[in-house]
Amino acid sequence: MKGRDKNPAPRGRNRARFNLRGRVLLVVSALGLCSVSLIGRAAYVQLVNRDFYQREGNERFVRDIEIPTSRGMITDRNGEPVAVSSPVESIWCDPKELLKAPDRLPELAKALGEPLDTLTSRISQRAEKEFYYLKRRINPDEAKKILAHGVPGVYSKREFRRFYPQGEAMAHVLGFTNIDDRGQEGVELAFDEWLRGSPGAKKVIRDNRGRIVENVDLVKQAQPGKDLTLSIDRRIQFLAYRELRNALISNGASSGSAVVLDVATGEVLAMVNLPTFNPNAASLGKPDAHRNRAVTDLFEPGSTAKPLTVAAGLENGVITPATLFNTNPGWMPNGRYRTTDTHNYGVLDTTGVIRKSSNVGAAKIASRLDNRQFYDFFRKMGYGQSTRSGFPGEAAGLFPAPSQWSGTSKQTMSYGYGLAVTPLQVAHAYATLANGGRAIQPTFVKGERNEPKQVLDPAIAAEVMKMMQTVTEPGGTATQAAILGYHVAGKTGTSRKASGGGYSRKYLSFFAGVVPVDNPRFAMAVVVNDPTNGSYYGGLVAGPVFHNVMEGALRLMDVAPDDIETWIAAQEKADGKRAPAALPVAAVPVDVHAALPVSLPGDVQ
């Protein structure tokens, strides 16, 4: 036909050309949209929501880890270390990661030195945790050997372990720390916050095996614990420990305590107890042995209370040093009971009551005091209340108010029954007498000066001290506590142990004393529980402990003698030569038992 294309394009070919162009456009559009979407997503992730994804990434590779810090060192008064911290390693694991390699568990168990089934059980029970200790506070060399096996998920951590060079001798004073290096007993507990310090923290990057590959930032600086200087003198401490141990062995006793105080400052120079324990392995000992008996255990003080009864009578003006007491026939009634002496001492003056340790004489003095006078005096001397030394678990003792007394209470309390005290309280009361009637709160920290409190007229305190001096002189009940070259004031005590509402045939043996009398330096109390080898009298059991410890302490502290004449006489008798005119302190002999008076009275209380 006219006007019609003679060779028109096939209809199918035009349709194919049209579809190809559309498809190309569609693909290009889709790719363009995807690119825009990816670019937008990347911008959103890196610019808009960057913090969230950064935080998520950091949680997988960045960790805050603790920077351990050492516990403060404890030293004695002379700067000698008595508690130090040594670096150790602890092996820990990520149970999730470790359980991914169960075939390595036998190798790990052998390295740790424990049965495979035990280790498998421990790890399996904590399969969902990310941290678990396998072995704590071990030698760094041992830790390296364990890590050298390269078991997945096993790592080490630096920690510190406490070490006590003095061992058993200072165990009760120092106490110990637990596996986390926290104080559990004694000074370690009392000053835990001071000693512990504050651990630091830092950010690190770990790889997929938990190893630190980079230190990112210091979050918190570690603050080491502060050092602590005790009032304890480790030399006197060891003397007291050794002599108390010897006394327990020779007398077949079950336990004992000894306390030494500096009279002028109230500082505790030594405090020992037996049985004791090894603080370097405290978990292996008996928990009962951890108790510091010198501040926690109560006992009836027996005749060591008599000097206080005498002082109360003198202060209240009901007696004088010259007052006479008829103790015939060696006993007196006390309700339906009797107050008895071991012998009939006849007529005694006030000094004689102390020298012969007369129960009857003490009871007669108490009878002249009204209840409130007697009670108030013992209270202000520290009985029935804590000494506030700051030692954990210190007991306040037992001294009931007059409203709780029965008709026999005051009479029995006058010679040390019906009340309960700690060895520290006895030493504190005797230090108060020696310090001119000034009571000073005891302390375990060197240089801590507590304000003294005048509780007794100095003249009366000095008078009682002179009376107590006769106890260690010929005719007294504790000549074995005498120290050649020094005047010693003290008092023995022997009390029966309470049992089932009455008293058993078991005894407590005491000696408390002060030396030197003319310029008092040390006050010491010794308690020996349940001696069974023969004698149980305080002068024979506890007196020698006082003698041996104080003789050594006087030499160590270079305390000048106050009884040179007696020393010269003993020297002349011992070697038949005339002694030198002057006596240097260092020349005082260590063992002078042969030169001491040996006559002992019948009443050895």
The rounded distance, in Å, linking the Cα atoms of 7 and 135 is 95
d(C-alpha 514, C-alpha 488), whole Å: 6
Neighbours of 406 (CB within 10 A): 10
Yes or no: say if 136 and 96 are a contact pair by the CB < 8 Å rule: no
Euclidean distance between CA atoms 425 and 397, whole angstroms: 8
Distance of CA 496 to the CA centre of its chain: 29
What whole-number distance in Å separates Cα of residue 37 and Cα of residue 40? 5
What does the block give as tokens for 584? 């240097």
Alpha-carbon span 253 to 249, nearest angstrom: 7
- Look-up: residue for tokens 């009857």? 360
156 belongs to the catalytic site: no
What one-character-per-residue DSSP string does 23-40 give?
A: HHHHHHHHHHHHHHHHHH
227-238: b (≥16 Cβ within 10 Å) or e:
ebbbbbbbbbbb
SS3 67: strand
Pairwise CA distance, residues 90 & 156, whole Å: 5
Residue 208, amino acid = N
Is the Cβ–Cβ distance between 480 and 543 less than 8 Å? yes
> What values do phi and psi take at 194, rounded to 5?
-70, -40
Q: To which residue do tokens 């003290």 refer?
A: 490
Specify the amino acid at residue 328.
N
Q: What span, in angstroms and rounded, lies between the C-alpha atoms of 186 and 174?
A: 5
Helices (H), 358-486: 359-367, 371-380, 409-413, 423-434, 458-469
The first and second tokens of residue 429, run together, are: 């009361």
Spot the catalytic one: 231, 303, 389, 509: 303
Sign for the pseudo-dihedral over CA of 496, 498, 499, 500: positive
In 3D space, the residue among 544, 545, 557, 456 whose CA is nearest the CA of residue 516 turns out to be 557
Specify the pairing of strand 337-340 against strand 453-454. Answer: unpaired
Which residue reads 């029970």 in tokens?
125
96 half-sphere exposure, CB direction, 13 A CA radius: 7
Residues serving a catalytic function are 303
